[in-house]
Amino acid sequence: MTKQALHIVKIGGNIIDAPEALASFLANFAAIQGPKLLVHGGGKIATSMAADLGIVSQMIDGRRVTDAESLRIVTMVYAGWINKSIVASLQALKCNSIGLTGPDGAFVVSKKRNSEPFDYGFVGDIEHVKAKDLAGLITAGFSPVFAPITADVTGQLLNTNADTMAQALAIALSEYFETTLTYCFEKQGVLMDPNDDNSVISQINPANFAQLKADGIVSAGMIPKLENALKAISKGVQAVRLCHPDFVSQPDKGTRIQA
């Protein structure tokens, strides 16, 4: 039997923090026909909220070093304000969204990251996705909206990178759906020249990724994002793409990932 298509989309903090861009993206997302799932980040807002409270945020390899105070902030920001704002907006657009974190339904279970070689604090790496139950929720007509907060088997909340969460959900759900994964961010795609939106690299595979990294053309948060994208395409996700949120429904736009 052929599997039904499932569109998984991830949006990051730069879009969430720009009300017009977010509203325009959510209208595009709501218009996608058929099963769909959204994963959101919000790192930029968490960093500014932490700064307001006098807490300096430290990022290493795209992961936030998350102490107990930071964990409280990121949980309130991601699972609270951002998640509920997005779900309410999608409901107003007649998209039957349901806001979730890892521990809701135990859909995503993580494990605290090893403290060697560096202690990231309360950061979780995903161990298991309860894909069958989540597929059931999607088939019942809900569009899950995941915040990047998970928990381990003891109930400890953990902060999880949103790009990784999207990758893990896409891989696990590929057992039940023909899954496509789209990372939306504020540029037109992965660029040869970060200041030139016309320099989109149309395809990235493991070989040219290694070269782009060595040449310093991809840097910062783009490196873990592409590592997640490459993992997804190598583990059963049908199509993976990075693009501007305006083009979420135009598969020929942006950067396509190849195994």
Ligand X SMILES: Nc1ncnc2c1ncn2[C@@H]1O[C@H](COP(=O)(O)OP(=O)(O)O)[C@@H](O)[C@H]1O
Comparing CA positions, the residue from 143, 172, 139, 156 lying closest to residue 66 is 156
CB of 65 to ligand X2W, least distance (A): 8
As given in the structure block, the two tokens for residue 61 are: 């390899």
CB of 161 to ligand X, least distance (A): 8
As given in the structure block, the two tokens for residue 52 are: 């307001």
As given in the structure block, the two tokens for residue 92 are: 């107003």
Comparing CA positions, the residue from 187, 185, 179, 229 lying closest to residue 204 is 229
Please tell me whether residue 12 binds ligand X2W under the rule CB under 6 A. Answer: yes
Out of 102, 103, 144, 221, the only residue in the binding site for ligand X (CB under 6 A) is 221
Contact flags string 102-121 toward ligand X, x per CB under 6 A: --------------------
Q: Which stretch binds ligand X (CB under 6 A): 51-59, 70-78, 135-143, 186-194?
A: 186-194
Q: Is 221 annotated as a binding residue?
A: no
**DSSP of 64-120, one letter per residue?**
E-B-HHHHHHHIIIIIIIIHHHHHHHHHHTT--EEEE-TTGGG-EEEEEPP-SS---
Which residues 6+ apart lie within 8 Å of 172 measured at CB?
129, 131, 134
Q: Which is nearer to ligand X2W, 5 or 49 (CB)?
A: 49
CB of 17 to ligand X, least distance (A): 9
Q: Which is nearer to ligand X, 35 or 221 (CB)?
A: 221
Contact flags string 29-68 toward ligand X2W, x per CB under 6 A: ------------xxxx-x----------------xx----
As given in the structure block, the two tokens for residue 226 are: 């592409």
Out of 220, 250, 251, 259, the only residue in the binding site for ligand X (CB under 6 A) is 220
Please tell me whether residue 189 binds ligand X2W under the rule CB under 6 A. Answer: no
Out of 22, 90, 109, 190, the only residue in the binding site for ligand X (CB under 6 A) is 190
Percentage helix, strand, coil for the chain under 3-state DSSP, each rounded to 5:
40, 25, 35
Contact of 181 with 39, CB cutoff 8 Å: no
Binding site for ligand X (CB under 6 A): 12-14, 41, 43, 163, 185-187, 190-191, 194, 217-222, 225
Instruction: Mark the binding-site residues for substrate, compressed into ranges.
Output: 42-43, 64, 159
